[in-house]
Amino acid sequence: MSDVLLEVEDLRAYFELDEGTLKAVNGISFTIRKNRTLGIVGESGCGKSVTAQSIMRITPKRNSAISGKIMLHHGSSSVDVLQLDEDGDEMRDLRGREIAMIFQEPMTAFSPVHTIGNQIMEALFVHGEKDRGAARARVVALLEEVGIPAPERRIDEYSFQLSGGMRQRSMIAMAIALNPRLLIADEPTTALDVTIQSQILRLMKRLQRENGMAIMFITHDLGVIASMADDVAVMYLGKIVEYGSARQIFKDPKHPYTRGLLRSIPKFGATEGAHLATIKGTVPVPLDPPDACPFANRCDDYIAGKCDARMPEAVTVAPGHSVNCVLYE
Amino acid sequence: MSDSTLLEVRGLKKYFPIERGLLKRVVGHVRAVDQVSFSIEKGRTLGLVGESGSGKTTLGRCVLRAIDLTAGEILFHHEGRTTDLAQLSRRDMRAFRKHMQMIFQDPYSSLDPRKTVFDIVSEPLRINRIASGKALEERVRTALELVGLDLPYMKRFPHAFSGGQRQRIGIARALSINPQLIVCDEAVSALDVSVQAQILNLLKDLQLEFNLTYLFIAHDLSVVEHVSDEVAVMYVGKLVEQAPTQSLFARPRHPYTEALLSAIPRPDPDQPLPESGGIEGELPDPAHPPSGCYFHPRCAYAEAICREEPPPLLEVAPEHSAACHFAADLELQGIED
């Protein structure tokens, strides 16, 4: 299986708070393959962003405990990202060159006191580029690549001079500057209008087609996931509750949470005045969660004594499609 | 205008001056809202969509007179009388405000963190001197019950609540004085999907129960389709299309609406976003809009006339109007189920 790029095994990210232990990520495993997009979908607090931060090793240091394995494969060699010193040279070299990340809010991701061009050039310098002229030419080419008009002019502008869409394009340019093999995109289009969103999504697909990078795409938007992802992991309260191909998840969802989510989004052409299906209650905070199905207290199919007794094992319901729910055990 | 019309907006304009230099010389205007007219019948919902910067929030705030308008009429028909809100003095307007309320996007910043839920929900009642003492408490109780919040929560502060619960508090506050019109400005945009459905259902139930009228401002077209009876599409301060919801989504008449609809990612892997085509470019700077039809630089169907003549908003089918020179000729793509 040489196309496996990243293997995450039993990843846990715990944060000690005054109120208790916040188990943001609570034992998840998945793989990311070359040239493919893994979509991670879930609501706020499900741990999708902390998962991304753990891979990049940019989680807050204080009172946190990250455990498990994050194996990054390169040909025949592999490295466990979690074993590296998060401030060390090895990790720093890995960020950007192997794994790059784009964020939801490009306004805060860019420094307001440096030009866009200088910030992207800095990434090139950190990773060994010596020649300033060559770096500048490369950045102009990158900005053009991501569809920014008049890149020779834009390169000297500041992030606040750009529109939201242009800022997101600039961030993508910075992320792909070193041809990373994995691009982690954390809600990259959530702050954008639907028209600009579709432009950015198309851009990401084109870049993937051209350079074969893998994408880990994190979002709460089921429409975006369906458009982008080959495989989908549905997360809830720090756990992956269902995993499968996009087709399996959207056409044949198994977990009550996945089903509930899909039912609760308004469909075009649905009967006028009809009520939306809802999931009762709200997403709880994973403070000292019991070792049980995290969705139990909101689930319509809840079975007392079973769902709250232990965390359900992953059950394979079809090739490549697994679900953690007692209904299928 | 029919007898049941509650709100009628005519030729509404809101220009913001662009000031330069020490003396704040006015060097131009941003036409945030430009000649907008529409009406909403009692008990119905008008959805207002458009990209950020299109002026939809400014329009909503003008309707409530939260900001002063530059020109136009805002006719409010209530109890057999017609009042032009645009003509009311600030004092008269304050008295009138009990008929209209707003629900905001961000349930985190729209609730005062130093006030209890009781203080927040009772505020409109106290300010408008509608109730006090026992009666006030009763009204707050009723409002909280309506939105499905447990009464013991009354003494708590907003930080103790989740986003969905906060939005319920915001709705309870809006409802407490029995308003006629509620402007919902991106009221569900900040909520999780599963919670968003609960709030949309709640808004619908409340509308049926109290015959409420909503101006529902949102950028999410699937949400707008779900809640609206009619939809108005805004582009750089102007309405470019307005129609009954079903008609607008099935057969849009303005290329901008078609572009918006085609850009929506559908929750179905068999209907991915088209790899090519789609709308290019971004919303123009409203301080320097393009000539002619504002949409022409991004429009796939633009002809010479579009660069020169601004198209008027005209009825092209029953109750369906569009501001496009070719509205009658184009066969535009809507959304198939």
Q: What is the DSSP string of A254-303?
A: -SHHHHHHHHHSPPTTPPTTPPPP--SS-PPP-BS--SS-TTGGG-TT--
**Domain identity same for A73 and A161:** no
Q: What is the CA radius of gyration of chain B?
A: 21
Contact (Cβ atoms closer than 8 angstroms) between residue B322 and residue B310: no
Q: In degrees, to the nearest 5, what angle opens at C-alpha A153 toward C-alphas A151 and A154?
A: 60
Contact A201 B162 (CB under 8 A): no
Residue A196 falls inside a structural domain: yes
Query: Does A121 lie in the same domain as A46?
Result: no
Q: What is the pLDDT of residues A1-44, one digit of tens each?
A: 569 999 999 999 999 988 889 999 999 999 999 999 999 999 88
User: Chain A neighbours among B 299-318 (CB < 8 Å)?
Assistant: none
B163 at interface of A, judged by CB pairs closer than 8 A: yes
C-alpha distances in angstroms, A312 versus A29, A140, A287? 15, 51, 19
Please state, in angstroms and rounded to a whole number, the distance separating the CA atoms of residues A45 and B162.
11
Instruction: Say if residue A174 is in the same domain as residue A275.
Output: no
Domain enclosing residue A149, as ranges: 110-179
Coil, strand or helix at A177:
coil
What local confidence, expressed as pLDDT, does residue B277 receive?
Answer: 66
Cα separation, A329 vs B151, whole angstroms: 41
| pLDDT tens sequence across B183-230 | 999 888 888 888 889 899 999 999 999 999 999 999 889 999 999 999
CATH number, position A204: 3.40.50.300
* Complex ipTM tops 0.90: no
Supply the pTM of this predicted model.
0.90
What Cα–Cα distance (Å) separates residue B201 from each residue in A225, A256, B179, B295? 25, 20, 19, 35
On whether residue A246 sits in a domain, the answer given is yes
Q: How far is CA B317 from CA A92, B36, B63, B233, B241, in A?
A: 61, 19, 27, 16, 12
Q: Which of A179, A206, A239 is the last residue of a domain?
A: A179
CB atoms A270 and B335 under 8 Å? no
User: What is the tally of helices (H) and strands (E) in chain B?
Assistant: 10, 12
List strand residue ranges (DSSP E) for chain B, in order: 5-20, 25-41, 45-49, 71-78, 81-84, 100-103, 181-185, 213-217, 230-235, 238-244, 314-317, 320-322
Whether residue A184 sits in one domain with residue A171: no
Distance between CA A294 and CA A305 in Å, rounded?
14
Does residue A218 lie in a domain region?
A: yes
Does residue A104 fall inside a structural domain?
no
Residue found by looking up tokens 């609501």 in the block = A43
Residues A82 and A135 in one domain: no
Q: Do the Cβ atoms of A264 and B193 come within 8 Å?
A: yes
Residue A260 burial by Cβ neighbours in a 10 Å radius (0-12, 13-18, 19+):
buried
Whether A12 is in a domain gets the answer: yes
- Those residues with Cβ within 8 angstroms of residue A100's Cβ, 6 or more apart along the chain or in another chain: A174, A175, A176, A177, A178, A180, A182, A183, A184
Indicate whether A39 and A126 sit together in one domain.
no
What spatial distance separates the first Cα and last Cα of chain B, rounded to whole Å?
Answer: 33
Neighboring chain A residues of B225 at a CB cutoff of 8 Å: 266, 268
Least Cα separation, residue B169 to chain A (angstroms): 15
Q: Is A129 a member of any domain?
A: yes
Considering only the beta carbons, identify the residue of A193, A202, A226 that sits closest to B266: A226
Q: Do the Cβ atoms of B219 and A193 come within 8 Å?
A: yes
Which among A195, A246, A279 has the least Cβ separation from residue B279? A195
Q: What is the SS3 assignment for A5?
A: strand
* CA–CA gap between residue A249 and residue A233 (Å, rounded): 9
pLDDT in tens, B89-116: 999 998 888 899 999 888 788 899 999 9
Report helix, strand or coil for A139: helix
Final residue belonging to a domain, choices A156, A179, A202: A179
CB B156 within 8 A of CB B137: no
Burial B53-90 (b: 16+ CB within 10 A, else e): bbbbbbbbbbbbbeeebbebbbbbbeeeeebebbebee
SS3 B248: helix
Q: How far apart are CA B178 and CA B99, in angstroms?
A: 7
The residue type at B170: G
d(CA A256, CA A233): 14
Of the pLDDT bands very low, low, confident and very high (cuts 50, 70, 90), residue B10 is very high
CA atoms within a 13 Å half-sphere pointing along the CA-CB vector of A10: 2
Alpha helices in B189-269 (DSSP H): 193-210, 221-227, 245-250, 255-262
Residue written as token pair 């609809």: B261
Q: Which of A13, A25, A45, A40 is nearest to A258 (CA)?
A: A40
Bridge partners (DSSP) of residue A70 are A8
Q: Average pLDDT, whole number, for chain A?
A: 91
Higher pLDDT, B161 or A222: A222
Whether A190 and A282 share a structural domain: yes
Which tokens in the block code for residue B110? 């729209």
For the segment A134-154, what is each residue's pLDDT rounded down to a tens digit?
999 999 999 998 989 899 999
What six digits make up the tokens of A112?
């307001």
Q: Check CB contact of B127 with chain A, cutoff 8 Å.
A: no
pLDDT tens for each residue of A156-215: 999 888 888 889 999 999 999 999 999 999 999 988 888 889 999 999 999 999 999 999
In a domain, A105, yes or no: no
Q: What are phi and psi of B31, to 5 degrees?
A: -85, 80
Q: B42: closest CA among B2, B94, B10?
A: B2
Can you read off the two tokens belonging to residue A49?
A: 């962003």
Q: Based on the domain organization, do A226 and A262 belong to the same domain? A: yes
Query: In chain B, which residue's Cα lies nearest the Cα of A222?
Result: B267
Helix, strand, or coil (residue A183): strand
The tally of domains found in chain A comes to 2
**Same domain flag for A73 and A175:** no
Q: Do A87 and A184 lie in a common domain?
A: yes
Give the residue from A105, A194, A219, A280 with the most B CB atoms within 10 Å of its CB, the best one to mutate: A194
- Best mutation site among A265, A272, A283 for testing chain B: the one with the most B CBs within 10 Å? A265
The pLDDT assigned to A106 comes to 67
- Residues 6 or more apart in contact with residue A224 via CB below 8 angstroms: A189, A197, A201, A217, B265
Same domain, A194 and A172: no
Query: Which residue, A133, A155, A179, sits at the end of a domain?
Result: A179
- Do both A82 and A123 map to the same domain? no
CATH 1.10.760.10 assigned to B5-112+180-322: no
Residue A169 lies in a domain: yes
Kindly tell me if the per-residue pLDDT of B8 is higher than 90: yes
